[in-house]
Chain A
Amino acid sequence: MAVLRPADTTQLEEAVTAALAKDETLEILGGGSKRALGRPPRTDHVLDLGAFDGIVDYEPAELVLTARAATPMARLVAQLDARGQMLAFEPPDWRDLLGTGGEPTLGGTVACNLAGPRRVRAGAARDHFLGFSAVNGRGEEWKAGGRVVKNVTGYDMGKLQAGAYGTLSVLTELSVRVLPRPETTCSLVMQGLGDEAAVATLASALNSPHEVSAAAHLPAGAAARSKVAALSGGAATVLRLEGPRPSVDYRAAALQSLLGAGERLNDRNSSALWNEIGAVRALVGEGERVIWRLCPPPSTAPALLRRVEARLASAEGFYDWGGGLLWLALDERDAGPDGGATVVRAALGEAGHATLICAPEAVRAVGPVFQPAQPALAALARRVKAGFDPKAILNPGRMQQGM
């Protein structure tokens, strides 16, 4: 095993071409903060992209930022912050969740299609990914998309790279859409609701014209682990409003009146709370647990959790995205050797998808970590993969066995 550190795209092309010629496989590494995500990499070499670092172009008025793949998110976000802008998909920090160190990078964030609480309103990384350069599994540099916010020239190849976990190409440079940071933020907390009532309340808020930008429900256990004091009184249902101050004040009052409840959190508590939710703090550090990330149709999430609880007594979860994201934790022993996959996937059925985020390496190495596809779709995905990486040398097996 060697660690290859290409200094530029030419060296990267050479490294991939050499691996291709020798039938050797490569693990693509940015900052390493999401190395424990997906099926464990078992490759001949590590391709360290550390040299691909730096903001290439950022003009706030154009709403576009271009940076190299291994640019640390922290630096990028600081630059945006200084100009009053943000990545609207609110990339979460999963280092505590995954038990990893290293710096999250732009390339890794997009390759894993991450999204935080604002996903419910503003979309995921995929929705803000405008264009890129990459090296495919043939060792060729290629590009797609552009550096403007509106573009339909050719297939939308960025959508495929976002969420492909580096199995289709090695991203080297990415352009993303950036947006103004809201002037004011306010969160409303309602306490003591059961899951069904809470998700229905989140739906009422999201279906109202009050432009809710985040909607989560923490059952009592999860709420108790929050560092935000206002959440200490049992189950907490939380909504976030953002925008100009007069608008936020008006909408907060309107929502309180619509829902007949809701205590306002101040700015600092509000941002602490949503960071906790994005980082899945409520389920971290509670002993030996496996953690699942489920995306069901939002209204079905409480019943889904009930179905899992009926089979696995240790099940504990909380809801984000109005129910569209259900985080689920199981005690390792209760979950069994497959990490609870049989129960979780049966409970979910065909509607939505489930990903095993945290589990011992042995569990992630054996069973499917990502949602298994129907045969026709699985065959199509295999042909798509072969079109980018015909000998499966880029992050092989990271998403599906044998791919």
Chain B
Amino acid sequence: MLRMPMPDDAVLARRAAIVAGLREILPGEGVIDDELERRAYESDGLTAYRTLPMVVVLPETTADVVAILRYCNAAGVKVVPRGAGTSLSGGALPLEDGVLLGLGKFKRILEVDVANRCAVVQPGVTNLGITHAVQDAGFYYAPDPSSQIACTIGGNVAENSGGVHCLKYGLTTNNVIGIEMVTMAGEVVRLGGKHFDSGDYDLLGVMVGSEGLLGVVTEVTVRILPKPPGARALLIGFPTIEGAGECVAAVIGAGIIPGGMEMMDRLAAEAAEAFVHAGYPLDAEALLIVELDGCGAEVDHLIEAVETIAGRHGATTCRISRSEEERLLFWAGRKAAFPAVGRLSPDYYCMDGTIPRKRLGDVLARMKQMEALHGLRVANVFHAGDGNLHPLILYDANNPGELERAEEFGNDILRLCVEVGGVLTGEHGVGVEKRDLMDTMFDKVDLDQQQRLKCAFDPGNLLNPGKVFPQLCRCAELGRVHVHAGQTRFPDLPRF
């Protein structure tokens, strides 16, 4: 089971004084002390883990955030930032001795600047809320994680969120051009803006995806894109997973980068079909949805090209959407795949590794063997274009030991992803979930280098500690310079 840093008894003993101190900064309802109300924040999208936060604060302005962080920094109190709490990796899991800093009140769209193709928003605005604010002008915000109705742009910045369109349009990091942030010491720093790139170190680039460990984001400037004039999709069935994988490689080999390219295995497709009746072929071992977007001339041209490629790679069925309704129906099953799989089993555990696509066949075959070993089933949903796998492990938390088996299975899958040349997480983040697997990808020197970055931003290690790294960082020790080569520089250190 997951271990978090030991709560600091000295901080817990000062709880009443800390709550009173925070109330001086945020009078009224901005400080939540009541246990029942605090329960609402005990977990995020990784619901297997729950911790009651010591206190919850809900600031409304950057000045509030500055005052809270200054107070906590001076008092040596840990802080866990939180957006909408949809993280699937436990990024917003509270700490028993920590302040939970919710940014839900930062809900305003500050500016839509069409001439510079950007929008300035507060971090609590939802991902889809940005698109809603700019769509009348003919624009949209490209990254579209499946939680986009609920997840906030602040959380997207923390996690570098992706979505089904990121092969063509990029992740959050490619679509955020500026932020205002507050450091743990309470300093306000602006990174980027409405311009391209950085004139100095690209600290914005490293803030995106830093999982709330480096600073609290209080304003975000995003690039907005003109909405494509149209889109059509193909729904293609294959008798083998390998055939579908080869088709994906051939599409890319032909120079086509589709707006979206998603694969589902038989179990996932069956579950989705039973749930939304999208007309998915039920005899296929692999189902591929390929969406082409752009002007009509381009879409028609590429649909034909993909259809030909699919035929050449043994597709047994190929439907092409003839209307917007039909295109959305193709997607309805994919978008509902998680809840649909949820109907097959009381619980499921969603994984997020990325692999080189050419290894897809091996990886799925090895996963089949693991199913037998762990006594649990897996349904696979796959961002086929970029190699990002979402195996859904089916389990029942009411059966003693089954959650632990599901987690062990998940860890084996992620180790396999790394073994074949991939990575632990494509878009959900490390959080607490994959924290203890970081050393399958990185050695101690790599992790120390990452920790030294943390020290530059938060030397007291008070901001979201216990996430991402398997051991807490010790900045004083990491800062020392060893100049004698040949010595053992890194004796093994215990984990917390």
Contact = CB atoms under 8 A, between A and B. Distances in A.
B196 A124 contact: yes
B484 A21 contact: yes
A159 B456 CA distance: 16
A352 B196 CA distance: 8
Interface stretch (A242-250, A280-288, A311-319): A242-250
Interface string B337-351: 000000000000000
Residue of B189, B190, B194 with most partner-chain A CB within 10 A: B194
Contacts of A140: 445, 449, 489
B356 interface: yes
Contacts of B397: none
B199 interface: yes
A260 interface: no
Interface of B: 113-117, 138-139, 159-160, 162, 166-167, 170-171, 173-174, 183, 187-191, 193-206, 208-210, 214, 226-229, 249-250, 252-257, 294-298, 300-302, 354-358, 383, 386-388, 421-430, 434, 438, 441-442, 445-447, 449-450, 452-453, 455-457, 468, 479, 481-485, 489
Nearest to B305: A244
Contacts of B297: 246-247, 249-251
Given A61-B249, A156-B205, A251-B295, A138 B481 contact: yes
Contacts of A162: 202, 205
The interface residues of chain B, by DSSP majority, are classed as loop
Contacts of A244: 298, 301-302
Chain A CB within 10 Å, residue with most, of B198, B302, B386: B198
Contacts of A209: 138, 226-229, 295
B355 to A, nearest CB: 7
Contacts of B209: 152, 155-156
Given A155-B209, A298-B116, A391 B160 contact: no
Residue with the greatest number of chain A CB neighbours at <10 A, chosen from B190, B202, B441, B457? B202
Contacts of A44: none
Interface stretch (A262-270, A359-367, A376-384): A376-384
> Does more than half of chain A's interface fall in helix, strand or loop, or is it mixed?
mixed
B196 A321 contact: yes
B138 A207 contact: yes
A384 B257 contact: no
Contacts of A221: none
B386 A150 contact: yes
Contact of B295 (A210, A325, A376, A387): A210
Contact of A160 (B205, B255, B446): B205
Given A163-B201, A247-B297, A150 B383 contact: yes
Interface string A121-142: 0011011000000001011111
Given A154-B438, A244-B302, A247-B295, 6 more contacts: A61-B357, A62-B356, A152-B160, A154-B446, A377-B189, A387-B452
Contacts of A163: 197-198, 201-202
A358 B341 CA distance: 60
A376 B162 CA distance: 31
Given A150-B388, A247-B301, A370-B200, A60 B226 contact: no
A386 interface: yes
A169 to B, nearest CB: 8
Contact of B200 (A152, A156, A321, A373): A373
Nearest to B447: A154
A142 B445 contact: yes
Contact of A113 (B202, B255, B447): B202
B199 A149 contact: no
Nearest to B254: A180
A136 B482 CA distance: 13
Nearest to B483: A21
A148 B354 contact: yes
A155 B205 CA distance: 9
Contacts of A156: 160, 173, 205-206, 208-210
